[in-house]
Structure 1
Amino acid sequence: MTAAMTLGYMPWYNFSAVLKYLADEFHLSASDTGWILAAFQAGYVIVVGGTGWLGDRLSLKKIVFWATLVTGVFSTLFVWGARGKESIIALRLITGLSAGAIYVPGMALLSRWFSPKERGGALGAYTGALVAAYAGGYLIAGRLAAAYGWRTGILWTSLPAILAAILIVWLVPEAPPGEETKAGEKGLGPEAPGRASNGKEKAEILEAPPGGFKGPVFLSASYLGHMWELYAFWGWIGPFLVSAALTVGMAPDEAVKWGGTFAAGIILIGAPASWGWGIVADRKGRTWAIMVASILSAGAECFLGYLYGHSLALLVLLGCWIGFWVIADSAIYKAGLTEMVLPRIRATSLGFQSVAGFFVTIISPMVFGKILEHYNGPVAAAQVKVWGPAFLVLGIGGAAAPTLAWILRRQKQANLMAGGKK
């Protein structure tokens, strides 16, 4: 599953990696770029909630397979189909629609194999693979585009998704041996959250504790703040570093190559963060881990853009700090939610949380682009000189995550997470 995720999501940021060339060829402004980034996120949101519902009723493996395959096909079609702003938006929207059916069903499928005490680390590893895919897309597409043109960069970060679909068919089982997989019973086992066993074979589904869905709502609301900063940061960090590299005197091709490479490193550093911080959350508690990670990432984002024009090494160093913490708590929201809801609605709940979270990822890249245009005029991202206010808005929005996690920590349902560690 982690290998398939690494290959399957490479198309996500290949657009950002080759943006300099696309902007030059098709006259895309920073605001246009925000719309294109938002189109992909919008496609994801349209589909992701429905896949959670389907995942509680149909084969999770088949959903993940078909979604991964179609993602690869339409990302590959971008190579020949991109002819201007409108066609780029349409193709990125369709690719986002396909990608929206991978992550949530994949999380639900993977959660079948691990007990609640191990699930934070397992889902963190899966999220880490997603991060590696984003970084791989930036690295491969940027360097190939600088050497051979943007179409080559897009092509060789799209074909791996088709390979990922083949891996899913051949190597990923539907469920652990002996586990029920029919509708309404996915992931149920004697150790699953929401079940209590009295020593007999038959387990009984418990009623939800006092508070109903208050706990899941606060956790998901905290997730909104996390998602506000996360995907806009990932989508814009590459163009930001390309612009910064041009400012310090790099040639355009070198700026694209190294801007993409630095962005890939910044994103990739989040892969072990997601896995490692998931294990920390298993031991220290979900809300504690969320508050620490989100404060450290959002706080640094408030300053990043204002350092534009200073040493490129300083920008990359601070970017790496943000890249580590901005994703470190991502899987914790998922793990915590699976512990607070009944197993029979686990995939649906994950889908609703993802819809809410990814909805704000439609807005934040557009807001970022609009702020850039307000301060710089209708110029391409590579020509932007004022970045501070845009990154500041990401940090301010991200502050909602620790605030709401602190409120959740005071709720009774928080005791359901991480074996009572909140």
Structure 2
Amino acid sequence: MNNPIVLIVIAQMFGTSLWFSTNGVLKQIEGIWSLSVSDLGNLTNSVQFGFIIGTLLFTITGFADKFKPSRIVMLCCFLGATFNAFIIFGEIPFSFVIFSRLVVGIALAGIYPIGMKLIISWDPQKAPNTLGLLVGMLVLGSSLPYLIRALGISFDWQYTVILTSGLCYIAGITIYLIGDGPHLITNKKSSFRLLDQFSELLKNKNYLASAVGYFGHMWELYAFWTCVPILISISISQHQIHDQEFLVSLLSFLIIGLGFVSCVLGGILAKSLNSSRIASLSLAFSLSICVIYPLAGNLYFFIDLGLLIVWGFFVISDSPQFSAISARVCPQHLVGTALTTQNCIGFSISMITIFLTTSFYESLGLYFVWILLPGPVLGLIFFCRQFGFLKLKTI
């Protein structure tokens, strides 16, 4: 196949739909198992924990670079789809539901970061563009549950889960049939030395700077997405606007979903501006809005909304560019390990800020968003020390 990129991106979207399979049906699941608020949090966090465990396993074992990425993605699609479907049986205990979502998270570690390596193997030169499209699709999927809630659309939760599992099976078969790209490089060593691999990555100053920039981005990203409905609710309540539930859901979809546009646009602009410029400028704009928001927030509703829209645009546009830079500058036989390590640490960091922001937003008021500042500030400093800012190296 001459240009399988579009099919791979669509297959990746189908595969990663497991991430969001329960987001739009939490209310129905809550009634079936009589869940508390903490139970719902555990249901959501179990996927994140599973993803961290999965990326850690791929990093420690070196499987990300030992085996063909198309085979890994296929097997993980089948594993994730199967365990995702297990929860349709309402008579199973909730503890098994948590376990099944944990396994789904582990499987996603072999679908998303390994999928990035797969797509790069077809055309490394277009990595900023193709990864922008891939991450953009994931952003769109993350925002869809808010649109469904805003429109009042309801589905039988079991059909929703079965559909996502079916799509994931299709994704696995599609990736298997497409196979690996002509630029794939695997680690030919018969055994893996974990410390040697990490040492090789840590000695690579370009990779280290890109990874730290990504960690700073992840400190902010998922916590911001979690806080978007909170910030909209505070603004709507402050200005006494009606239809609060509808507006919170609709505007959350628009603000988060706008990241699809920024990821795709960032990938296109990276051809002329280069990835390092897009990444650093995105991080700088994002942290600037983070500083400004609590100072200007709640003056007028449309000022709040405008700031959140700009923030939602820039908070994600650097993500695919950091991944593209890391994949390009790291040792090419360790691309899979480099990306899974980066994802593992990044998602672990995101759980810290989600906990901090949701714990302190009531006591700190709008200033709780400044909890998000240290990550982008430190990430930008470390990244720009290596790549510069206004006079950037071509990466």
TM-score, normalised relative to structure 2: 0.78
In the aligned structure 2, how far is the partner of 1:18 from the partner of 1:317?
A: 30
Conserved? CA contact 1:230–1:326, under 8 Å: yes
In the aligned structure 2, how far is the partner of 1:27 from the partner of 1:306?
A: 35
* Residues 131-164 of structure 1 deviation map (CA, whole Å, 9 limit, x = unaligned): 1221234323x247x454xx74685377235314
**In the alignment, what sits opposite 1:405?**
383
1:237 paired residue among 213, 228, 232: 228
1:64-79 equivalence runs, <5 A: 64-77=73-86
* SS of structure 2 residue aligned to 1:56: helix
2:218 paired residue among 222, 227, 234: 227
In the aligned structure 2, how far is the partner of 1:100 from the partner of 1:84?
A: 25
In the aligned structure 1, how far is the partner of 2:19 from the partner of 2:236?
A: 23
Conserved? CA contact 1:297–1:326, under 8 Å: yes
**In the alignment, what sits opposite 1:98?**
107
**In the alignment, what sits opposite 2:329?**
340
**In the alignment, what sits opposite 2:55?**
48
Q: CA deviation at 1:98?
A: 2.6
In the aligned structure 2, how far is the partner of 1:39 from the partner of 1:132?
A: 21
Q: How many residues align?
A: 371
- List alignment gaps of at least 5 residues for structure 2: 1-7, 190-199
**In the alignment, what sits opposite 1:175?**
180
**In the alignment, what sits opposite 1:197?**
none
With over 3 angstroms needed to count, the CA separation of the structure-2 counterparts of 1:327 and 1:161, relative to structure 1, is: farther
Conserved? CA contact 1:3–1:164, under 8 Å: no
* Residues 265-324 of structure 1 deviation map (CA, whole Å, 9 limit, x = unaligned): 222211121122133334323332222101111221344467776665544432221121
Query: Which range moves more in the overlay, 357-366 or 85-94?
Result: 85-94
Matched, 1:271 2:275: no
With over 3 angstroms needed to count, the CA separation of the structure-2 counterparts of 1:154 and 1:322, relative to structure 1, is: farther
* SS of structure 2 residue aligned to 1:265: helix
Q: CA deviation at 1:332?
A: 1.2
In the aligned structure 1, how far is the partner of 2:184 from the partner of 2:237?
A: 57
Report the AA paired with residue 57 of structure 1. K
Matched, 1:4 2:7: no
* Residues 48-94 of structure 1 deviation map (CA, whole Å, 9 limit, x = unaligned): 24335322122312322333344445445556669999777655544
Matched, 1:421 2:379: no
Q: CA deviation at 1:325?
A: 0.5
**In the alignment, what sits opposite 1:196?**
none
In the aligned structure 2, how far is the partner of 1:297 from the partner of 1:275?
A: 17
**In the alignment, what sits opposite 1:114?**
123
Report the AA paired with residue 138 of structure 1. Y
With over 3 angstroms needed to count, the CA separation of the structure-2 counterparts of 1:337 and 1:69, relative to structure 1, is: same
1:151-300 equivalence runs, <5 A: 152=156, 156=160, 159-170=163-174, 172-176=177-181, 184=188, 212-238=203-229, 240-241=231-232, 248=240, 250=242, 255=245, 257-300=246-289
With over 3 angstroms needed to count, the CA separation of the structure-2 counterparts of 1:167 and 1:94, relative to structure 1, is: closer
TM-score, normalised relative to structure 1: 0.73
In the aligned structure 1, how far is the partner of 2:131 from the partner of 2:250?
A: 26
* SS of structure 2 residue aligned to 1:100: helix
The percent of aligned pairs where both chains have the same amino acid is 20
With over 3 angstroms needed to count, the CA separation of the structure-2 counterparts of 1:294 and 1:26, relative to structure 1, is: same
Query: Which has the larger helix fraction?
Result: 2
In the aligned structure 1, how far is the partner of 2:299 from the partner of 2:103?
A: 39
**In the alignment, what sits opposite 2:343?**
354
